[in-house]
Amino acid sequence: MKRSTRILLSILLILVVYIFVFFAEKYMDPFLKRILNTGFIYVILAVSLNLINGFTGQFSLGHAGFMAIGAYTSALLYMSPENKLSNFFMEPLISPLDQIQLPFFWAIIIGGLMAALMGFIVGAPTLRVRGDYLAIVTYGFSEIIRSLFNNLQNITNGPLGLKGLPTYTNLWWTVSWAVITIIVIRRIVDSSYGRALKAIRDDEVAAENLGINLFKHKVLAFVVGAFFAGVAGGLLGSLLMTIDPNSFSILFTYQIITIILLGGLGNITGSVIVGIGFAFLMEGLRFVEMPMNIFGITIPGILGMRMLIFSILLMITILFFRQGLFGTREFTWEGLVRLFTKRKVKQQ
């Protein structure tokens, strides 16, 4: 298939998605819309973490920390001065943050850039620490961020968090950012940079011997991954309308790791499908916590059942689907065509 045909088909697909978004924004049930928004935010998070963990093989547990930075930076920029005044009643917000108000788009971008800066700082030690030690260092970083945010009363409002954030996030934003994330990361992975990243994942020493600059490439993965995590954090803050440091704990990172493991490490298609599916699953599983009526016997809802089922699913994936549900099979237009032609052969 020609390159131009593939690009044309991709543009068509994006158009179809946007037509769907247009109708969804107009007619869809707000509850469903909310789940879809969360799903697309999961997609951004999963695809960006996949760049670090899946393609570069640097096992990072710091994604929640990057999100927290993005969420707070952008929230402090897009909130109105009056809104900030009502939030910071313990200690006033330091100037000039208390007067600034930027449009949502720029606030999100700056949030992403701040997270990217943090990604650089976290990515720099990757030259010295590897494997599970790196996982520990990144976990440490995300805990440091959480602890700082809990204490910097005059910047983050401490453990009280920020409340009453304006709801700018809608499907237009989340879908657009998800599309940008997928395109950018797909382009990186398919470029010479991406091949270098995969070489580092497969054998670091061999990659270095081939003349690949380890520091540059690892840090690149962290910076790009952290940028999109920051963007996702900003979008999530505006969707939930409230953020506090403790909602960006390691548990959030585990959820994203579950998504990329289920989708398959280093598989963007898997991250996208599982990311959206995960949002629906987490909402759908809420029924297990409600009282149920089976054949006239009422079973009281059990609190925490949803998370138990979630963790059992996680364990099953880890133990039995080590390649994820999709393995290394990526979505390609050629693959789709082959799928249809194969079916035709079968029908004859």
Partner 1 sequence: MDLSLFLQHMVNAISLGFVFGLVAVGYALVYGVVKLVNFAHGDVFMMAAYFMFYTSLIFGAPWLSAVILGIVFTSLLGVGIEKVAYKPLRKYPRINSLVSSIGMSFLLQNFAVVVFGGIQRSFPVPEPMTKTIVLGEIRVQAVSIYTIIFSIIMVLILTFILQKTKIGLAMRILSRDFDTARLMGINVNRTISFTFALGSALAAVSAVFWALRYPQIFPFMGQYPGSRAFIAAVVGGIGSLKGALIGGFVLGLLTVLIPAMFPEYSGYREAFIFLLLVLVLIFKPNGLFGLEAGEKA
Binding-site ranges for partner 1 (CB under 8 A): 59, 125, 128-129, 131-133, 135-137, 140-141, 143-144, 146-148, 150-151, 251, 254, 257, 261, 302-305, 307-308, 310-312, 314-315, 318-319, 322
Mutual orientation of helices 171-190 and 104-123 as an angle, nearest 10°?
40
Question: Smallest gap, in angstroms, from Cβ of residue 167 to partner 1?
Answer: 30
The pair phi, psi for residue 332, each rounded to 5°, is: -135, 155
* Tokens read off for 14: 């994006």
Q: What is the DSSP string of 182-205?
A: HHHHHHHHHSHHHHHHHHHHH-HH
- Residues with Cβ within 8 Å of 256's Cβ and at least 6 positions away in sequence, in order, are 42, 45, 46, 49, 63, 64
Instruction: Give whichever of 132 and 334 is closer to partner 1, judged by the CB atom.
Output: 132
SS3 for 219?
Answer: helix
Q: Check: CB of residue 223 under 8 Å from CB of residue 116.
A: yes
Cα–Cα dist 210/341, whole Å:
41
Residue 73, both tokens: 């930076």
Query: Minimum distance from CB of 72 to partner 1 (Å)?
Result: 16
Which is nearer to partner 1, 281 or 314 (by Cβ)? 314
Say how far apart CA 308 and CA 315 lie, in whole Å. 11
Report in angstroms how near the CB of residue 59 gets to partner 1 at its nearest: 5
Cβ closest to partner 1, residue 146 vs residue 217: 146
Q: What is the DSSP string of 267-312?
A: -HHHHHHHHHHHHHHHHHGGGGGS-EEETTEEEPP-TTHHHHHHHH
Nearest-approach distance from CB 142 to partner 1, in angstroms: 9
Nearest distance in Å: CB 320, partner 1: 9
Nearer to partner 1, 188 or 250 (CB): 250
Question: Which lies closer to partner 1 via its Cβ, residue 9 or residue 281?
Answer: 281
CB of 272: closest distance to partner 1 in angstroms? 21
CB of 288 to partner 1, least distance (A): 10
316 Cβ neighbours under 8 A, 6+ residues apart: none
SS3 298: strand
Task: Give 214 or 305: the residue with its C-beta nearer to partner 1.
Answer: 305
Pick 148 or 240: Cβ nearer partner 1? 148
